[in-house]
Structure 1
Amino acid sequence: MGEKDARAVSETPIRDAATIIMVRDTGTRPRVLMGQRGQSAVFMPSKFVFPGGAVDAVDADIPVANPAGADCLRRLANQSTAKPEALLNAATRELWEETGLLLGAKDPRAGQIEAPKGWRGYLRTGHLPDGDALSFVFRAITPPGRPRRFDARFFLAEAEKLANDPDDFGNAEDELSHLQWVPLDEVRKFDMPFITEVVLAETSAILNGTDQPGVPFFNNFDEISRFERL
């Protein structure tokens, strides 16, 4: 790699992102919602992942029906300049766009907001994001050297909080295919990114009560990888 190419890699911008881990049947045989990225995707092609994506500027402007808890907001703000509500809202929007599943609470303000594509369809349902339905459980920055880099926050939410049928993906956009609820004890049969496997292990620990205090943070902001807890 030449000097120019190396400099381009080192200057790859890190975008804030939000990912949502939807779980169901937690009292029996837990399942998580996953889909497959397209073969032509620049980032993680053909991999099975959770719904998620980059934070849009408008995400910070959408009011919430219910705020997230103080502890969640504090951890989101730790070592971050992103507005916590924008991260929570982005997770809600990405779930809606990529799966057609509606997570939120009824709020009369929804019909009074003008928003671009993505939020427009969501707001027409009469809902606003419900920050209290999301738990901040993981954070990871894409290591240097990748074509795209994200500072991804992972949120956990239960399917019981959805406002529509958890098995109806009819309104999903086509960014993810093969959307399905995968049993946690079978999920590692799928082709997944390494970080997704790590997040799944943390999800399992949370569900069975063996997780450790704090939110795990794979801090790859620079060439030195650090594992921290927020």
Structure 2
Amino acid sequence: MPSIEKILYFMSSGLVTSISVGLLGFGMSEQWAEATMSCARGGTGFFNGSAVIILDLFNGTLQRNFCPGFGGQEKFEVIPTIIKKEVTPVVLHILMVFLLALCLLFSACSLLLSLYNSVSNPYETYLGPMGVYACSSLSACLSVVVLILFAVNINVTTMAESVVENFVGGVPVDLIDKTTKMKLGYFLVIPYVILSLISIGLIYAYDHAVYTHRREQQRPTEDAPKEIMMY
């Protein structure tokens, strides 16, 4: 049986990782952003309408108020809708979803390694701590990239404008004063990053404790007088 210390550290790391996976999975099903912009029929310069877009990763809702005409509310699928207008937002969005899938995969690998090592041979670790370091580090780094990509896509590119233009029936519109607000799904990625780093910290603490214990066992021999060692 492995030592109690090893069981506690690796089980704690596995628990933290499982919580992070649950948070990210829940976040992926929630709303990620809301974009609001002023709207006018193209060329009139009279901005009396507005459009509000609420996005999650795969679906969204568009609420139009005099943009143009009386507007209405439409539901849409994100990728099929924006691919009709712009290439860059589609590429960024698909890349972001792919990276999130990789985050879940690496976290699952980290979880499996932690659970396996918590019950494995007390003197051996299979791909851990290095395996946990690698998987959890990749999860944390990729999720940070996801945060940056989504913020760029919703704020810098014309992703939101493309959605509105797709639902105005071919009528040219002018869109200005875009404001964005990040929602729960986006912010849940942040604790996922933190928990991935905590998982690394727990295994590092175990690794450091093992190294310190090994050094203490070697010290009596290293500190012994030369006469005793010769004898």
Q: TM-score, normalised by structure 2?
A: 0.20
Larger Rg, first or second structure (1 or 2): 2
Question: Whose strand fraction is larger, Structure 1's or Structure 2's?
Answer: 1
Question: Whose helix fraction is larger, Structure 1's or Structure 2's?
Answer: 2
The answer to which structure, 1 or 2, has the higher relative contact order (CA under 8 A, 6+ apart) is 2
